Amino acid sequence: MSKVRILLADDHAVVRAGIRNALEELPDLEIVGEVGDGPTLMEALARLHPDCLLIDVTMPDFEPVADIRQIRARYPALKILVVSAYDDDVYVHGLLGIGVDGYHLKDQPLSDLRLAVQRVLDGERWVSSPLVDKLVSYRSATPGSPLLTTRQRDILRLLKQGLDNQSIARRLGLSVKTVENHLTRLYRQLGVQSRLEAVNYVTQNPEVLSMPDQAPVSFPVPPELSVEQRVTILLVDDNGRYRSQLRRMIGRVCAQALIYEAENIGEALDLARRVAPQLALVDVILGDEDGIHCTRRIKAQSPHVRIVLISAYPDREFHRLGLEAGAVAFLDKKDLDVATLRQMISDVIESN
């Protein structure tokens, strides 16, 4: 029996390595190629004729909806599983609407990724469980009314006040580049092309600023730490939804914790300098940046901070490089639960 041919498309080599390692446990699969941008993907599809494409649609020179529609038309039998860090409506609804076979979030356990691949290959549709409520909410919302995240609503309010990108960035503690990225996705969701059109849209549809975002994730409530000392924690991850989950877990473990968030190296270094965190949780993949490099730079600037690297795609080489960079531990995201966080914070408090 011939093996199922898989093509991996992601602009991060470390993510592709993690996916490859995860899929090696599945029998009768063969990774026939890896690509990192749109043009290379199109060439590889024509040359390799894979049975299944695992793709992060935010690659360079790749237009998610238009290019996936073209791929679907050209290769109707190809199984397409989107593996993305983003749960934006423009991606989830747009891509599912044009016929991808599944949408998997990168911060989910590796066991779920393997299951997603198996389900898609069996002819089923796969949607990561955190997206189910979002899809149901979307269908029950007012037709044409986009569901915005808390961050997007904050930016839209400031946009309506007439603030420019630099002012918005200062007000929200973000980089200008991050604000620009949020605005790009926001314009797509609203179906507008400019700041003026976005302001006009919210003026005519004020309900978008009050619509709730995704239902909160529930976690078991552990007893709080009995220590009264405050702990300053820095969360460095480019996935805002995952940062929110961590923030809620930490808050239930230690209500006294001061929690700061960054989504790239620049923000992380600035916060590390200003707030002197005792503990930092750093994702290995930070958009186009490297969390191991981020760890090395934070340690050089703030040698006393305890850094734990986290990843949805754990790999031995990442672990080795992370420890060499100064991290005290390397954890699979699925293992980062309330009990683990409680132990981390206790260790930080006891070491001070």
Number of continuous H segments (helices) and E segments (strands) in the chain: 15, 13
- Residue 103's SS3 state is strand
Q: What is the pLDDT of residue 236?
A: 94
What distance in Å separates the CA atoms of residue 278 and residue 302, rounded to the nearest whole number? 9
- Among the listed residues 24, 72, 32, 80, the one whose alpha carbon sits nearest the alpha carbon of residue 56: 80
Q: What is the pLDDT of residue 225?
A: 44
pLDDT in tens, 235-246: 999 888 788 888
What is the pTM (predicted TM-score) of this model? 0.49
Mean pLDDT, the chain, integer? 81
Q: What is the pLDDT of residue 89?
A: 60
Percent of the chain with pLDDT over 70: 85
Domain boundaries, the chain: 4-138, 150-209, 232-351
Cβ-Cβ contacts under 8 Å for 124 (sequence gap 6 or more): none
pLDDT at residue 217 greater than cutoff 90: no
Q: What is the pLDDT of residue 44?
A: 96
φ, ψ at 301 (rounded to 5°) = -85, -40
Residue 58 CA: distances (Å) to CA of 67, 92, 139, 142, 333? 11, 12, 25, 28, 22
pLDDT at residue 256 greater than cutoff 80: no
227 pLDDT band, cuts 50/70/90, is: very low
Element housing 285 (H / E): strand 285-286
Residue type, position 271, single letter: L
Please check whether the domain covering 150-209 is classified as CATH 3.80.30.20: no
pLDDT in tens, 141-174: 444 556 666 677 788 888 888 888 888 888 877 7
pLDDT at residue 81 greater than cutoff 80: yes
Answer whether 262's CB lies under 8 Å from 236's CB.
Answer: yes
Q: Which has more pLDDT, 292 or 179?
A: 292
Q: Which has more pLDDT, 321 or 43?
A: 43
- CATH assignment of 4-138? 3.40.50.2300
DSSP state of 191: T
How many other C-beta atoms can be found within 10 angstroms of the C-beta atom of residue 50? 22
pLDDT at residue 216 greater than cutoff 50: no
pLDDT in tens, 298-319: 999 989 899 999 988 767 777 8
Mean pLDDT within 215-223: 36
Mean pLDDT within 324-350: 84
- CATH assignment of 232-351? 3.40.50.2300
What distance in Å separates the CA atoms of residue 324 and residue 238, rounded to the nearest whole number? 23
- Residue 85's SS3 state is coil
Tell me if domain 4-138 and domain 232-351 are identical in fold: yes
